[in-house]
Amino acid sequence: MNRATLLMLATAGVSVAAGFMIHPLLGIFALGGAVMMGVSIWNGGQKMLAVYRDREGEDFSSFLAALPEVDADVARAVYEEIQTTCSSPNHPLPLRPTDHVINDLMLDLEELFAEVLPRIIARIGRGSPEGIEDLTVGGLVRHLSTETSTQAF
């Protein structure tokens, strides 16, 4: 369980307790919200478990095989940095070039541009996040592969 999930659960618990202290109906309303949040978190976890099962046996080699025209060093940097950000160190999620970093991997857009892309660019020593249109993992690799030969960060 990550820090954000724990923070949401703690906030929900405090809200429910405070709601019951103020008025029973407010407590019931807060409890309903907490249950809905819990169900949403559980559903997200189930979705990710299905993705893990579907990708059993896949790794960086299968990722790179799907992107033969790109720089392997750039592909490795993108793959590893996004995988580290979006999955558990004990259970790394095998990525596919078609994974949308926001919709599929649930990465925040601000986190992508403020943290992840700068780490990737620093790691490969060149490139720029400007002009990225395709927010799939493969799209990021292709963008940074073409940027590496023409532009320095």
Q: Which residues pair with 32 in a beta bridge?
A: none
Q: What per-residue confidence (pLDDT) applies to 41?
A: 77
The predicted model scores a pTM of 0.70
Question: For the chain, first and last CA: distance in Å?
Answer: 35
60 versus 52: which is more confidently predicted?
Answer: 60
- Residues 44, 3, 83, 130, CA torsion sign: positive
Residue 141 has pLDDT above 90, yes or no: yes
